[in-house]
Structure 1
Amino acid sequence: MVSGKNVLVAAALVFALISHSEGIIGGREAAPHSRPYMASIQVQEGESLKHECGGSVIADQWVMTATHCLLSGSAGRKIVLGVHSLSEPEETKQTFDILEYYNHPDFNVLNYDNDIALIKLDRPFNASEAVAAVEYLRTGGTNPGLGAEVEAAGWGSLDNLGSRPDKLKEVVIEVFSSSRCRRSDYYGKLFTSNMMCAHKLCPEPCNQPQRKEDTCDGDSGGPLLYNGTVVGITSYGGKKCGQIRKPGIYTIVSHYTEWIDNTMALQPNAAPDQSS
């Protein structure tokens, strides 16, 4: 398990190689509430809440996200569902406290291997057109192959300057070669068999200065979908978003079915493992 002071020290070191979180570069604004499984993990900032990470609703009281989104714990954080605009009042929004959270016990802060976490909400959500669970690929399922189109969504940065959208964005990208991501001029030994990488080169004429569409700062924990099913969790990418040799990295969800099932099957009153 990873915990306490060692996590913070190691995290500071690894930031020289990889970004803290992910978001959307390129893409377009999503149709309002067209992705009802999207969750916004928000942190108290003054008298308001600020979007910090993404997540996906996978059961009536459970959100799946990335471990590195919760390294400092759940204090001061809320989960908001039914969101399209972060700033506008929306009747569809449902806000939750975090009852329990479970970081994967084998998370490696040095390369973000096993970057998956589960959050138990303080109550089940009220199902609506704006809030609903999404299916995730289970063990034995077929992951998308090289060149397959996959979708990511979130409220992350639009560029390397850190400008953030107010409304949910989405992007279609392509699965990239794992063997190339393992090369030393890409990610080298940081890249493991629990990860897939994806991005999309921007077609000419390209209006993106980074020359590709990708994920960026602000949407770690959000889902990567293939044919409407979650196959990945947005984990990390290059220090600068949109670099050609630093595709976004995603945790392969189907590698964790047993852990997900066992975690959600815990008795309601069981004490959560907060040391992960």
Structure 2
Amino acid sequence: MVLLFAVLCGCAVALEPAFKFDWTPPLEVIPHGPPRGVLVSDQFVLTAAHCVTKSRAKYSVLLGGHDLTGREESHQIIDVEKVFIHPNYSFEKSVSSDIAVLKLKTKIKMNSKVSPIHLPKDNVYTGMPLVLTGWGATKTGVQSFSVLQVMSTSAIGLNHCKQAFPWLDSSMFCVYVPESSSTVCNGDSGGPAAYNNSVMGIVSFAAKGCLPEYPQGFTNVFAAKNWIENVMEGSERSASGPSLPIPCTLLVLFLVLVLVYPFL
């Protein structure tokens, strides 16, 4: 599995695509149904902050998911103890630091189908080949998939992404392949963009209508890495951000585990 991943990464084009966007599209990609996430330790999950901002919500995490039509032997369901939202999070006139850390009440049981992915050691670079996994729709109005899907794409430079989204800052990055008809869409929010067994990005937004001819926006995990590690280490510093109470509705997070079914 690791060798296959390396081959796919090595074959990707690492050049900056030449393009010019003619207009600034409104944003799409909101969590239709349960949002997605990615496991980064035996007790912590990353997801998009805009997926978990309900102040009176109870969350549980489903791990080991592949086909969501029924119960699988690989499934583990664990309640969330605490939600940490990045202190610089914004999702109104602009999108910034759209990331949250979920602390599970109990540690996961690691096995061949459930194991964490690494936090990045280096920042995203222009042309970095990325593998996206999720169950989201392919375009607005289309039903989401029940079986985990895989998409290959590449990161573009921040300045190029600002042609479409001028307000973007370094807490985010974009992916874009000019000749591709694939894109993230509704139901993909919170899912991971992976490179060499590291989670580089978290699905955040796309152009309204999920148009593949425009970039898709991701939270830059490397930019938030220090904050994530502080939260995971139980730091009491203000950088850990506000936590949300957890009493009321149940929302299950279907986790995209890159180590589980990345190439099915």
* Residue 54 of structure 2, aligned match among 68, 72, 94: 72
2:119 and 2:225 in contact (8 A); partners too = no
Residue 206 of structure 1 corresponds to none
Shift of 1:21: 2.8
Q: 5+ residue gaps in structure 2?
A: 1-24, 237-241, 246-264
Residue 170 of structure 2 corresponds to 193
* Residue 78 of structure 2, aligned match among 96, 116, 120: 96
* Residue 129 of structure 1, aligned match among 99, 112, 129: 112
Residue 108 of structure 1 corresponds to 90
Shift of 1:17: 2.5
Q: Distance in 1 between matches of 2:192 and 2:35?
A: 11
* Residue 19 of structure 1, aligned match among 23, 28, 35: 28
2:102 aligned counterpart, secondary structure: strand
Which protein, 1 or 2, shows the higher relative CO under an 8 Å CA cutoff with sep ≥ 6?
A: 2
Residue 249 of structure 1 corresponds to 217
Residue 258 of structure 1 corresponds to 226
CA 1:74–1:98: 2 relative to 1, 3 Å: farther
1:188 aligned counterpart, secondary structure: coil
Residue 209 of structure 2 corresponds to 240
Q: Distance in 1 between matches of 2:176 and 2:33?
A: 23
Shift of 1:258: 1.6
Letter matched to residue 163 of structure 1: Q
1:259 aligned counterpart, secondary structure: helix
Residue 43 of structure 1 corresponds to none
Shift of 1:199: 2.5
Shift of 1:214: 1.5
Across the aligned residues of Structure 1 and Structure 2, the Cα RMSD in angstroms comes to 2.4
Q: Distance in 1 between matches of 2:106 and 2:120?
A: 25
CA 1:74–1:231: 2 relative to 1, 3 Å: farther
Shift of 1:51: 4.6
Structure 2 length-normalised TM: 0.75
2:138 and 2:183 in contact (8 A); partners too = no
Structure 1 length-normalised TM: 0.72
1:200 aligned counterpart, secondary structure: coil
Q: Distance in 2 between matches of 1:158 and 1:20?
A: 11
Does 1:178 find its partner at 2:158?
yes
Which residues of 2 match residues 212-251 of structure 1 at below 5 A? 212-244=181-213, 246-251=214-219
Q: Aligned pairs, how many?
A: 217
1:81 and 1:94 in contact (8 A); partners too = yes
CA 1:78–1:162: 2 relative to 1, 3 Å: farther
Q: 5+ residue gaps in structure 1?
A: 1-15, 23-49, 203-210
2:90 aligned counterpart, secondary structure: coil
Letter matched to residue 139 of structure 2: D
2:88 aligned counterpart, secondary structure: coil
1:162 and 1:217 in contact (8 A); partners too = no
CA 1:267–1:251: 2 relative to 1, 3 Å: closer
Letter matched to residue 238 of structure 1: A
Shift of 1:163: 1.2
CA 1:257–1:76: 2 relative to 1, 3 Å: closer
Identity of aligned residues (%): 27
CA 1:20–1:67: 2 relative to 1, 3 Å: same
Shift of 1:64: 0.6
Residue 144 of structure 2 corresponds to 164
